[in-house]
Structure 1
Amino acid sequence: MKKLVPTFIALILLSFSSAAHAQSVDAQFRTWLDQSLWPDAKAAGVSRATFDAAFKGVTPNLKLPDLVLPGQKTEMPKDQHQAEFGAPGAYFAEKTIGSVQTGGRARLSEQARTLRAVEQRFGVPSGIVLAIWGRESGFGRAKIPYDAIEVLSTKAFLSTRKDLFRKETLAALQVLQKGWATKSDMKSSWAGALGQPQFLPSSLIEHAVDMDGDGRRDIWNSVPDTLGSIANYLVHHGWQKGRDWGFEVTLPPSLSCSLEGPDRGKTGAEWAKLGVKRVNGSAFPAGETAKTGFLLLPAGTDGPAFIVTPNFYVLKDYNTSDLYALFVGNAADRITSGGSAFKGSWGSVDKLYRSDVAAMQRSLEKKGYDVGGSDGLPGYKTRRSIGEWQAKNGLTPTCFPSASLIKAVR
């Protein structure tokens, strides 16, 4: 029994130490609010009453990810460094995309009047708007439990991206000042994304619209405001009315996968001349013959191939991921025209870590290739650099990382 006493005392001391540390962080947070954030909020037109009401009872949420506590060094989290490199095909699990398809088709009729108004006003197809709504918040059914002010201010004070979240905290305060939401309404994800469209506060201010005419831009409770705001966001980012997002295609064996990318576009007629065909056997729409499209190979040669339009990259502005934009495009097709899963199959992927891919990217950079940065994520610049290196070294281009490739490049 006596042996347990030192351990018990140590636990008590650790508990007191943790509590004292939390109190210290809380005190520093309050000082930061008053001396650093408040002057900027005042300059942005936020009243002291709004500011005080917003932060009443708010303390830093130390359970949020990507925080750097006072006295700690900023480093890449170990779990991120060792994150397993995921197979692209897993993003398109039928259960997930099928749920968006089913929910979207139901809402085509339920929200028909609003969708017509949105499409007439913004020129964005109903299927695209519904697919984003379904993907972001399950058509408003997903729980969005966090206090946005708590999340945003914690990250502005302690995160690895303080400047970004400081801007978003100030924008959230402006939303409260404008009366577009109450503090109790303003719920967010753990990353600070708000409401049914999952906008950051600055996006709410720039892109949200009052579609139902009640004088507020309510992206938490109003379906018309949510749908209109999603469409307006896309328009502000360059959505081209009358164009699709893209088409799944088949490629001739002679076509190099290193032609991928938004800076290597060709007209529909030029792609057709090279032997690129739509998977359904039909020609590219007449309107696309003289317009530029871009080759997309998210899994290199071991996955579906696409010719995408500039609207695909607008969808990427909503969420900077090729797979996200493809998900939205495919779900939109399923919602409005009864489309199905992609015809091309997703191949298997070697078990790799993001650190492995990052090391390969650094090696390619040293050899003079532009891989778009060594972040462990193989974007189009990395994929086509792989293909170019493979061709130069007498290998069949695959344009995608593998265990053997990583060893060879090093």
Structure 2
Amino acid sequence: MFRFAVLLLALLFAAPAATQSLQAQYEAFLEGTIWPQAKLAGVSRKTFDGAMGAKRLNTDIPGLVTPGAKEPPRRMRQAEFSAPAKYFNERNIGYITATGRSLARKYASTLASIEKTYGVPARILLAIWGRESGFGRVDIPHDAFQVLGTKAFMSTRPELFRRELINALVIVQLGHASPSAMRSSWAGAMGQPQFLPSSYLQYAVDFDGNGHPDIWNSVPDTLASIAAYLKASGWVPGRDWGFEVTVPASVSCALEGPDRGKRISDWAKLGIRRVSGKPFPEHEARAEGFLLMPAGRHGPAFIATPNFYVIKEYNESDLYALFVGHAGDRIQWGDSRFSAGWDRTDSMLRSDIAKMQRALEGKGYDVGGADGLPGFKTRRSIGDWQEKNGRTPTCWPSNALISAIR
């Protein structure tokens, strides 16, 4: 009993010591690694100390690893692969639609000026603004320097966050924001448009003319910065983002993807029709479009334009880009939901999908990487495998399919 008590006391006193040791390592990392890089980037010692001098690790941030360790296994269920319908929760999209319409009226002249300058429709800017920060109404809870410093020290992608930390320090050095004003998400994305510091330096715009781009407090700067980002990413003025369509069984879902484009008129010749019953606009019919089936045969289908993939430059998720396009349409034209519904699909672990992806890679399929997320390359590889093996292509994983593909 005495020996057990001694051991217990030793453990209780060891825990704070271990935490203190990790904090000491962090302080040494800031001084020995980050400060020299910041100095080379033109950051003064005063700026560095003001931003980082009293910072402590935030070990509550998701996705951290002990410095030097490999990424831990993840057992996660995410809407991106288990339940696409959750992404289009009507309460959420209804709020963004209604609020977006109200703000479209309030900021009509500003939005018109931004659209004229950058060529990006107001409805798309409003939808992104709403999705990213609830139109600036969502609390941005974290100190950007604490988040970026912690992730630079002990995340699974330290080099990325070291660069972003240096960029954040440069923002302060340039006088664009004070350290206390730079609030971010737990991922280090800042302000109402949720820009990483590198995106701020590249794309943030002083549209209200007060001398610096303020993506935390200024609506004109926020909206213009989003527009600048999309324009730089290749937004094509005058084109839509896409159209919901019906895809006949004779057209394989494995034809999906931005690298398998056809003129939209050629898709129409294959029997693909708009759900509205209207023909594709003439200027769109002459241009390139891409089959998009984000849940394979288990959900709505679309002919997407290059602008859909520009939205994906903002966030690489197909469902994010689809949400933005759909919410934008509803902001401008009314509460029209998707014509097709989302089927109920299996709940799958990301690690299990990754195993299936590796199995497909072993059979010669290009799944776009075994990351556990069924992107378009994985979806169409599933469809190709199903067709080759005498199954009806669905282009979507299931637990049974994961077991079958070995």
Alignment TM-score > 0.5, same fold:
yes
8 Å Cα contact 1:330-1:339 kept in structure 2? no
Cα shift at 1:407: 2.0
CA offsets 1:146-186 (integer angstroms, 9 cap, x no match): 00001001111111100000000000000001111111100
Measured in 1, the distance between the counterparts of 2:139 and 2:9 equals: 37
Q: Does 1:154 align with 2:154?
A: no
Match of 2:342 in 1: 346
Q: Which amino acid aligns with 2:285?
A: T
Q: Which amino acid aligns with 2:203?
A: H
CA offsets 1:250-301 (integer angstroms, 9 cap, x no match): 1122111111000000111101111111100001111112110000001101
Q: Equivalent residues in 2 for 1:133-148 (5 A)?
A: 133-148=129-144
Aligned residues: 405
**CA RMSD of superposed structures (Å):** 1.6
Cα shift at 1:346: 0.5
CA offsets 1:25-48 (integer angstroms, 9 cap, x no match): 221122221221111111111111
Measured in 1, the distance between the counterparts of 2:9 and 2:334 equals: 62
Measured in 2, the distance between the counterparts of 1:14 and 1:148 equals: 33
Measured in 2, the distance between the counterparts of 1:94 and 1:9 equals: 57
Cα shift at 1:351: 2.7
Q: Which amino acid aligns with 1:193?
A: A
Q: Which amino acid aligns with 1:369?
A: Y
Q: Does 1:249 align with 2:248?
A: no
Question: After the TM superposition, which segments of 4 or more aligned residues of structure 1 sit over 6 Å from their partners?
Answer: 5-8
Which of residues 71, 89, 102 in structure 2 aligns to 1:93? 89
Measured in 1, the distance between the counterparts of 2:8 and 2:102 equals: 55
Q: Which amino acid aligns with 2:52?
A: F
User: Structure 2 vs 1, CA of residues 11 and 118 (structure 1 numbering), >3 Å: closer, same or farther?
Assistant: farther
Measured in 2, the distance between the counterparts of 1:291 and 1:279 equals: 19
* TM-score, normalised with respect to structure 2: 0.96
Q: Does 1:289 align with 2:299?
A: no
Q: Which amino acid aligns with 2:14?
A: S
Match of 2:34 in 1: 37
User: Structure 2 vs 1, CA of residues 9 and 128 (structure 1 numbering), >3 Å: closer, same or farther?
Assistant: farther
CA offsets 1:287-324 (integer angstroms, 9 cap, x no match): 11211000000110111000000100111111110000
User: Structure 2 vs 1, CA of residues 11 and 343 (structure 1 numbering), >3 Å: closer, same or farther?
Assistant: farther
User: Structure 2 vs 1, CA of residues 10 and 339 (structure 1 numbering), >3 Å: closer, same or farther?
Assistant: same
Q: Does 1:127 align with 2:123?
A: yes
Q: Which amino acid aligns with 2:373?
A: L
Task: Determine helix, strand or coil for the equivalent of 1:79.
Answer: coil
Match of 1:69 in 2: 66
Q: Does 1:199 align with 2:202?
A: no
Match of 2:307 in 1: 311
8 Å Cα contact 1:387-1:399 kept in structure 2? yes
Cα shift at 1:8: 6.6
Match of 1:269 in 2: 265
Measured in 1, the distance between the counterparts of 2:302 and 2:12 equals: 56
Measured in 2, the distance between the counterparts of 1:8 and 1:301 equals: 62
Measured in 2, the distance between the counterparts of 1:140 and 1:211 equals: 17
8 Å Cα contact 1:237-1:317 kept in structure 2? yes
8 Å Cα contact 2:96-2:127 kept in structure 1? yes
* TM-score, normalised with respect to structure 1: 0.96
Long gaps (5+) in structure 2 = none
Measured in 1, the distance between the counterparts of 2:191 and 2:113 equals: 21
Cα shift at 1:114: 1.1
Which of residues 389, 392, 399 in structure 1 aligns to 2:395? 399
Percent sequence identity over matched residues? 58
Measured in 2, the distance between the counterparts of 1:402 and 1:319 equals: 25
Q: Which amino acid aligns with 1:149?
A: F
Cα shift at 1:7: 6.8
Which of residues 215, 221, 227 in structure 1 aligns to 2:217? 221
Question: Greater shift after overlay, 334-343 or 148-157?
Answer: 334-343
Question: Greater shift after overlay, 312-321 or 83-92?
Answer: 83-92
Task: Determine helix, strand or coil for the equivalent of 2:181.
Answer: coil
Cα shift at 1:75: 2.9
8 Å Cα contact 2:346-2:398 kept in structure 1? yes
